[in-house]
Amino acid sequence: MRVVDIARAVEAVRAHCGSVAGVPRVATSGNFASPVTLLEPLLAELEAVRLHALNAQSSLPLHDGVVPETTFVGPGFRRHPRLSYVPCRLSMVPRLFQGPLAPDVVVVHTTTPRDGFVSLGLEVNVLPAAIDAARERGALVVAQLNPRMPWTFGDAVVPVDAIDLGVEVDVAMTTHTARPPSDDARLIGSRVAAEIGDGATLQAGIGEVPDATISGVLERRGLRIWTEMFSDGVLTLDRAGALDLDTPLRTSFVFGSAELYEWVHDNPRVQMLRTETTNSPAEIARQPAMTSINTALQVDLFDQANASRIGARIYSGFGGQTDFTVGASHSPGGRAFMALRSWHPRADVSTIVPMVDEPVTSFQHGAVVTEQGVAWMWGRDEREQARNLIEHAAHPSVRDDLREEARALGLA
């Protein structure tokens, strides 16, 4: 790795992209670890470019020549008129870099070097695969070297020889402050928590329901973490003594408070793994009592969930929901929970519907949980599944209509 200033890095990227046939593709860190200080001048020098980032935040600079490209739509790309959404399960995204989404430039946000290595810190995800693909095809790898990035272990550790250019910056890491769970979320979380026993493995994501669920399992012991991401809830579990101290905490990316970042820094118990490992259904299935907790925009009477689209508009994407639903269902003692409100507060509609009209994100869950109750799905025939959803998960105001729709669908 050669350390240069921003101007020289930008010039090197511009020269490299000038030799690319067609519109160059820049793959970069997403979520809350995007190297914005470097990306802003770099993208400004490229008249046309495809920018690939997962769950992009609003801080990413997008001039008129940038095509935002992703397999999981974040707030920075959502509703963008030039959005290029590529449907793909998160576990499969690394394969895209070897084929149809091969990167011409990879821009990552890392620590400063230590003994010939840097760490990808808070965001590992699909980046090792992007770096590997770049190395194989002679693409350019550029790192924003930041002393404030926490040092993490596992697949986060990258030899400096894998990076062409490094640019030193000193910028604060973006933090995330979770809102307190609503009353509905607390009730849903408590229902899920009641089904989690000692020694379970958790997919601990972010949001009101996961936060509320974690609040309900602080008295458990020997819990394990295998997830695509975690936030401050895992720190809360650790301080409560709920975690198995002999089992590493496995994840692919992290975002949360400055306190969380300080705890993650140089913590050997936290193992950051590549997405193709954390999201492999086979690896997930090997975890004891794997408990996945996901949410959706809609669930229908056939237990099909839509978590991706609102009408014809893409909202997010598959993400890891399919990977974890399948993996947890195959785990010894594992279960896949679908947790959501029975009524969508902003759209003012029921989230339990007769049949989803949009592409299905996941199906065959262990149970669907709302503030109304727990509707068990696994092992029930389709009529009992529909009946459980109507009686235990749906909002009371729509139950009669759903019963009529169930009869029309042959489910009653």
Domain layout of the chain by residue ranges? 2-168, 183-408
The whole-number pLDDT of residue 225 equals: 97
How confident is the model over 100-131, as pLDDT tens digits?
Answer: 999 999 999 999 999 999 999 999 999 999 99
If we measure between CA atoms, which residue out of 133, 115, 131, 188 comes closest to residue 342? 188
- The percentage of the chain sitting over the pLDDT mark of 90, rounded to a whole number, equals 92
pLDDT band at 136, cuts 50/70/90? very high
The whole-number pLDDT of residue 205 equals: 67
99/95 Cα distance (integer angstroms): 7
Per annotation, catalytic residue among 228, 283, 358, 371: 228
Mean pLDDT of the chain: 96
Which has more pLDDT, 347 or 237?
237
Chain centre to alpha carbon of residue 203: 11
Position 345 pLDDT exceeds 90: no
Confirm whether 228 is a catalytic residue: yes
Check whether domain 183-408 has CATH 1.10.10.10, yes or no: no
pLDDT band at 181, cuts 50/70/90? confident
How confident is the model over 379-406, as pLDDT tens digits?
Answer: 999 999 999 999 999 999 999 999 999 9
Q: What is the mean pLDDT of residues 317-326?
A: 94
Dihedral angle sign, alpha carbons of residues 357, 358, 364, 365: negative
Q: Is the pTM of this model over 0.85?
A: yes
359/321 Cα distance (integer angstroms): 14
- The percentage of the chain sitting over the pLDDT mark of 70, rounded to a whole number, equals 100
Given this chain, do its domains 2-168 and 183-408 carry the same CATH topology? yes
What contacts 274, CB < 8 A, 6 or more positions away? 94, 124, 125, 126, 128, 129, 155, 252
CB 259 within 8 A of CB 236: no
Position 334 pLDDT exceeds 70: yes
Q: What CATH architecture applies to the domain 2-168? A: 3-Layer(aba) Sandwich (3.40)
Position 270 pLDDT exceeds 90: yes
Lowest mean pLDDT among 40-44, 208-212, 312-316: 208-212
Position 54 pLDDT exceeds 80: yes
